[in-house]
Structure 1
């Protein structure tokens, strides 16, 4: 008999050791309870982290829109907050960024975990097995004890105790001033009505102010630079403070004197303006003709181009007088020209003297360059003068001119070159038809005149 009890004890010890070694028993929460709202085979599990879970325990319900859809199966501590494992029916569809709150069924009812989608920005992904709701997505409702404690603080030592003092002071302020308060309230009603009527304008002004503020914000660096530059300018104005004040006082005295002068001469000024009216009317009638006349008035009695003579502190101009005696005397069929007295050789400008030198350098008295010289009395006299110099007397042009002077040859009437018959010192007859006279050893006219050049 004793051996039978020893054997039973050994079997019980083995069974006990097997149970304790295979799983961990945590009490009554591990025992299955009938009537569970969710089947383990048709559900998924998610976790939610709470800063405070109040008295949520395993088997507490999980609700969506006040309908039980699951239960709490485990509560763990992670650091300084709690981590709750929720088992939810697999036919419940929630976004993966759902919100979890701990709420109460009634004033003294049990606590439950409420799941709901966020008010904005719901995710398109579904809350699924293994997902976790962080602390930012969880919360709880205030407890009844907390509400009653805050109410007791308000009633005992809060603002309610001061309502009596406030009421008494209001009575003291309004006592005996009923009519004035009524008038004030009436005025306040008028002001509020005016503000209500102008609300569109006020909104527009606020929007414009908002736009101005945005513009100022964009131009912040420019404004900062302007303020930095304004600093030295303000310092200069501060240094010139006394001078500015003296200037303003002088302007004030000038204004007084000017007012006195204008008042005293008002009638004369009006009379002068009336006398000017006919002049102004005439000027207006002149119209576009007035501006050219004013331009001519500046340089009168000289032409308008005379204004370009004076350039700053000096004058620069040239005057050319070209006298062509062929315009005064007939060159053909009118008989010989009268004898002219000896003419002095005037000084020539450099450009005209260059024409004489170009004629000599051409080597051809019949060239176009010499034609210009022969057509001008002053140039012709200058040519004679230059050819008398030893430096130029052997030049072909000067040799031909000397033969003309000696009467050994006569100048042809070149096309386009009407030359009058002139008698100058040493210059023979000019402008006759081309002939050759004199000894046979005289140089030919063709050799002396050459081609057209």
Structure 2
């Protein structure tokens, strides 16, 4: 075998890049590999997709067991491929598209039935599948339908119908008169109804666009409630301890009320005296500042008093202070 130094470096580089590309593809599609990815891929036929998209969860009895791989049109029905991992799927299994959140996110629910395992090459038939009623699509369709209805012509039709059955029995006449009044009301509120349905459509679209944020908010709220539940005993003990502490403090005050009352009365007298002599205290503090300044200068030269006595020597020897001893 030739050493790598004697081989063509271009061929070695190309082979290395190819191997790296294959490893990256294998890592990216690891879930689809037969050994690494695991799980079995099945399919089901539905009358409609009902908002189910690839990546949605597959659940059995509320437990996630896989995810939807693809959703596509197959003739006059919708074919959904999904992968199931570590779960048994029988030959009589039923599948239903259900609503996961109030914002319209869906998941595929399986109900395993039958006596033998389902063949992955055999799709779950349409008589064993069920698609939900999509409220968002209903509102969207209602808004479009109302916008296309000629409410004026509808009101006129009900009016003519009411006049035609004017001589009919009272019950029929009353019912038609009510329909005529209803049609007139709808016709007069045509613009408001169209605006209301348009706003409803916009609100549902906004909520649907914010589905992930709502899920995060609900998940965080669930985590908060779980944390509060897990710390229920600690919170209960804290509240009980606070209650006991307040009881002990109340008892302490009651037991020492005879001693505390005279002390508070004496303290009140002291504060009264201090308040009455507040001006004198302020003046004493103000006069204390020069004294401390002179006292600091007196002791600032060492461990002695640096001062003199004015008038100790007679003036004939020599006046120490020409201005006299009068300050």
TM range (shorter): 0.3 to 0.5
User: Which structure is richer in relative contact order (CA contacts within 8 A, separation 6 or more)?
Assistant: 2
> What TM-score results when the alignment is normalised by the length of structure 1?
0.27
- Report the structure number with the largest CA radius of gyration: 1
> What TM-score results when the alignment is normalised by the length of structure 2?
0.35
